[in-house]
Amino acid sequence: MRINDIPTPAYVIDEKKLRENLEILKNVQEESGCHILLAQKAFSAFAEYPLIKQYLKGTTSSGLFEARLAYEEMGGEVHVYAPAFKEKDLLDLVHFCDHITFNSIAQVKKYAAMAIETSKQLNGNPYEDMGIMLLNEAPIVPKHLSLGLRVNPECSTQGEHAIYDPCAPGSRLGVTFDVFKKALEEDSTVLDNIEGLHFHTLCEQNSDDLVTTFEAFEKNFGPYLKKMKWLNMGGGHHITRKDYDREKLINLIKKIKSEYDVEVYLEPGEAIALNAGYLVTEVLDIVENGISTLILDASAACHMPDVLEMPYRPPLRDSGEAGEKKYTYRLSSYTCLAGDIIGDYSFDKEIRIGDRLIFEDMAIYSMVKNNTFNGIPLPDICAMDEEGNCRLIKSFGYDDFKCRLS
């Protein structure tokens, strides 16, 4: 099956592009000595984990479900960070994770000793302990548990996407230096179980912003980093983008490793599957009202929510800006939401009902965020191999809509 033959709507993962990204990331790992983890929040199509595993050291998770998925389907290092953990989840996470990062001093006080004690007692099958039926063989390895603390370097380097700025005033994400210092003044042993520091402040950014952020971090937290085993510099590094300055990143990591003698982690999501996927859709109707609107069998609200949330205009194959080419259309969906508009695009030829359109860069933050609002079906997931042959990985139906509602 070729991309023009698959039933729509469908996400198509481009394995050639994915592998090219992974080659770049592996090269950064080798040149710099850092460990790169897949942030599953961006991309969790685990059918591709066997491929990703050939290149990266492991994964990071935002909570119990992602961590369990990583443990079952990827193996390697399993990291987790969340703004707060529920006690039950934390006790389960200890089974799956080798690195747990806390967001506050209160969470450290509540859980650090408990997590370490629990991890020492683990010797059997985590699923038996948790009363869970094992779905398939998972690697069961006793792990050293290493705990970390997320800090806030209070250095905003991006104004473009305010909702993705964890350094915005009042941010709940990470401990500020004031709070950090005060906690140590009150109890000098409070961080005794903490082996790593973590910051995540970037979003689709280049290495110059990372350098700026590291300098801000270092100014305050540098002396404490000396006592740590690792530093995790989060995600948001657009390492696989054409204009990304990898040399600068590699030099920074080398410098950190030699000055502080720590393991350095990066946990990008976007960079791993950047431009490595498509959303293939069909034109169901064309509505005239001052502008010609194409009604597609895909939806911004359901299938690419970042278009409305971030917001941005997704790239579309063989198209231009509104007015740039001869025929301009507004692209929209068959949901009832008036604002379910993807954007205005132009084409060299007139679009007809039944034509197919291919949105690009649709592997990341799409499948992980989609939903069945309005009873709209979820797109299939296909993979396209290096020769351009597509195979169906997963299709969805009525039950996927119904079972979440009662």
Q: Rule CB under 6 A: which of 190-209 touch ligand PLP? A: 200, 203
Gap between the Cα atoms of 369 and 349, Å rounded: 33
State which residue, 306 or 344, has the beta carbon closest to ligand PLP: 306
Interacting stretch for ligand PLP, rule CB under 6 A, among 108-116, 134-142, 261-269, 282-290?
261-269
Amino acid identity, position 20 = E
Interacting stretch for ligand PLP, rule CB under 6 A, among 13-21, 266-274, 290-298, 325-333?
266-274
297 binds ligand PLP (CB under 6 A): no
State which residue, 8 or 101, has the beta carbon closest to ligand PLP: 101
Cβ contact 127:72 at 8 Å? no
Interacting stretch for ligand PLP, rule CB under 6 A, among 37-45, 85-93, 314-322, 339-347?
37-45
Interacting stretch for ligand PLP, rule CB under 6 A, among 117-125, 262-270, 327-335, 337-345?
262-270
Q: What angle do CA 360, 345, 11 make, to 5 degrees?
A: 25
Cβ contact 345:319 at 8 Å? yes
42 binds ligand PLP (CB under 6 A): yes
In Å, what is the CA distance from 55 to each residue of 21, 25, 51, 136, 146?
Answer: 10, 8, 7, 23, 23
Shortest Å distance, C-beta 198 to ligand PLP: 7
State which residue, 8 or 32, has the beta carbon closest to ligand PLP: 32
99 binds ligand PLP (CB under 6 A): no
Gap between the Cα atoms of 149 and 147, Å rounded: 7
Can you tell me which of 58, 63, 148, 269 binds ligand PLP, judged by CB under 6 A? 269
Concatenated DSSP letters of 314-366 = --BTT-EETTTSSEEEEEEESSS-TT-EEEEEEESS---TT-EEEEES-STTS
State which residue, 312 or 401, has the beta carbon closest to ligand PLP: 312
Shortest Å distance, C-beta 27 to ligand PLP: 18
State which residue, 281 or 366, has the beta carbon closest to ligand PLP: 366
Comparing CA positions, the residue from 131, 127, 171 lying closest to residue 151 is 171
Q: Rule CB under 6 A: which of 211-250 touch ligand PLP? A: 234-236
Number of chain positions touching ligand PLP (CB under 6 A): 14
Phi, psi of 257 (to 5 degrees): -65, -40
State which residue, 237 or 332, has the beta carbon closest to ligand PLP: 237
For residues 183, 186, 189 and 195, what is the CA-based torsion angle, rounded to 10 degrees?
10
State which residue, 196 or 236, has the beta carbon closest to ligand PLP: 236
State which residue, 42 or 67, has the beta carbon closest to ligand PLP: 42
153: tokens are 């370097």
Can you tell me which of 39, 112, 302, 316 binds ligand PLP, judged by CB under 6 A? 39
Interacting stretch for ligand PLP, rule CB under 6 A, among 35-43, 283-291, 350-358, 378-386?
35-43
Gap between the Cα atoms of 238 and 243, Å rounded: 9
Q: x/- contact string, 68-87, with ligand PLP (CB under 6 A)?
A: -------------x------
b/e code 191-222 from CB counts within 10 Å (16+ = b):
bebbbbbbbbbbbbbbbebbbbbbebbbebbe
41 binds ligand PLP (CB under 6 A): yes
398: tokens are 């009525």
Gap between the Cα atoms of 206 and 247, Å rounded: 11
Gap between the Cα atoms of 197 and 229, Å rounded: 9
Shortest Å distance, C-beta 60 to ligand PLP: 6
356: tokens are 């197919």
233: tokens are 């510099």
Interacting stretch for ligand PLP, rule CB under 6 A, among 3-11, 216-224, 267-275, 315-323?
267-275
Shortest Å distance, C-beta 260 to ligand PLP: 20
34 binds ligand PLP (CB under 6 A): no
Binding region for ligand PLP (CB under 6 A): 39, 41-42, 81, 200, 203, 234-236, 267-271
